[in-house]
Amino acid sequence: MTSPKPVLLTGASGNLGRMLAAELSARGHSLVLTDIKPFPGPLPAGARFVAADLGDGLSMLRIAEGCGAILHFGGVSVDRPFEEVLDPNIRGLYHVYEAARREGARVLFASSNHSIGFHERPAGNEARIDADCAFRPDSFYGLSKAYGELMGRLYWDKHGVENLNVRIGSCFPEPVDARMLSTWLSFADLARLCADFIAAPKVGHAVIWGASDNPATFWGADHRERIGWKPEDSAEAFRAEVGEKVSGDPVAERYQGGAYCASGYSRATPGPRETFGQD
């Protein structure tokens, strides 16, 4: 089912944005695409592009006019210093939610596993963490994603803006290392998730682990039943190819956020459990 109103996609010029623009266009959705960078290549059918900076609140209000859903994939998408994250990922997100509030639109926020990256990886029969776990960001980027999820909580509680936080694991054409056997999200599964979100009768405030049907997943229960999403792909098909590819860094291999946890790590011991007997 297509949306009766246009769908706004931020970050449309990025890798995931370009893929989603093509996939959603093919499903018959009318799209408004925006990014600070020009859209590379021809626009998909039924789409128009407006260049804008997320930090420009007035521009975001204008671009969102008439839209029924916002897929927010814009902003800094990798680990960067605080000052580089601040404007697009904090102020820019506020502008997105203000636009959604005014238009009565729902928001899909491209969150990240890095909002909970300092949870340890489960071993053996240890329990997987559920979507209601504590935030444990592993970087300023991950911190901005935790902030973004809380922004959605606020706008649902205070203004009734429906929102879905998708904690994306590793969304690439194929897994490239052993960690991605747990975190990989195929392009096709992400496109299906976005389409299900747009079509869902109700969403409320929800959190979904953004990973394909991977038996080695780190993650447990979430709210995917709200939109009827069922991932169809699995990283297991790549185990023989990437199963032995590990970082060799004990911090990266201990925590779910991988290399983001190890970057700039300065603790004298691997973690608080050894010091305090607890996480």
pLDDT digit string, tens, across residues 162-177? 999 999 999 999 999 9
Percent of the chain beyond pLDDT 90? Answer: 87
Domain ranges of the chain: 7-276
Confidence of residue 273 (pLDDT cuts 50, 70, 90): low
pLDDT at 123: 87
CA separation for the pair 66, 8 (Å, rounded): 9
DSSP string, 99-166: HHHHHT-EEEEEEEGGGSTTSBPP-TTPPPBPTTSPP---SHHHHHHHHHHHHHHHHHHHH---EEEE
CA separation for the pair 107, 103 (Å, rounded): 11
Residue 105 burial (10 A CB sphere; 0-12, 13-18, 19+): buried
Distances (CA, A) of 253 to 145, 257, 271, 276: 22, 9, 13, 21
pLDDT at 125: 78
CA separation for the pair 160, 276 (Å, rounded): 41
pLDDT at 257: 98
Instruction: Name the CATH superfamily housing domain 7-276.
Output: NAD(P)-binding Rossmann-like Domain (3.40.50.720)
Of 37, 36, 41, 6, residue with least CA distance to 22: 41
- Reply yes or no on whether the pLDDT at 275 is more than 60: no
pLDDT at 272: 60
The one-letter code for the residue type at 40 is P
Q: Average pLDDT over the chain, rounded to whole?
A: 94
- Reply yes or no on whether the pLDDT at 1 is more than 60: no
Residue-wise pLDDT tens digits, 206-219:
999 999 999 999 99
CA separation for the pair 139, 30 (Å, rounded): 35
pLDDT at 4: 83
CA separation for the pair 269, 180 (Å, rounded): 26
Q: Is the dihedral of CA 90, 173, 166, 246 positive or negative?
A: negative
Which residues are known to be catalytic?
A: 141
Residue-wise pLDDT tens digits, 142-158:
999 999 999 999 999 99
Percent of the chain beyond pLDDT 70? Answer: 95
Residue-wise pLDDT tens digits, 81-118:
888 888 889 999 999 999 999 999 999 999 999 999 99
Place of tokens 């596993």: 113
Of 114, 112, 123, 113, residue with least CA distance to 254: 123
CA separation for the pair 3, 52 (Å, rounded): 23
Q: Are 192 and 227 in contact (CB under 8 A)?
A: no
pLDDT at 274: 59
Confidence of residue 124 (pLDDT cuts 50, 70, 90): confident
207 vs 126 pLDDT, higher one: 207
Q: What is the pTM of this model?
A: 0.94
114 vs 77 pLDDT, higher one: 114
Residue-wise pLDDT tens digits, 11-61:
999 999 999 999 999 999 999 999 999 999 999 999 999 999 999 999 999
Of 38, 33, 39, 26, residue with least CA distance to 8: 33
Q: Are 231 and 252 in contact (CB under 8 A)?
A: no
- Reply yes or no on whether the pLDDT at 130 is more than 80: yes
pLDDT at 271: 64
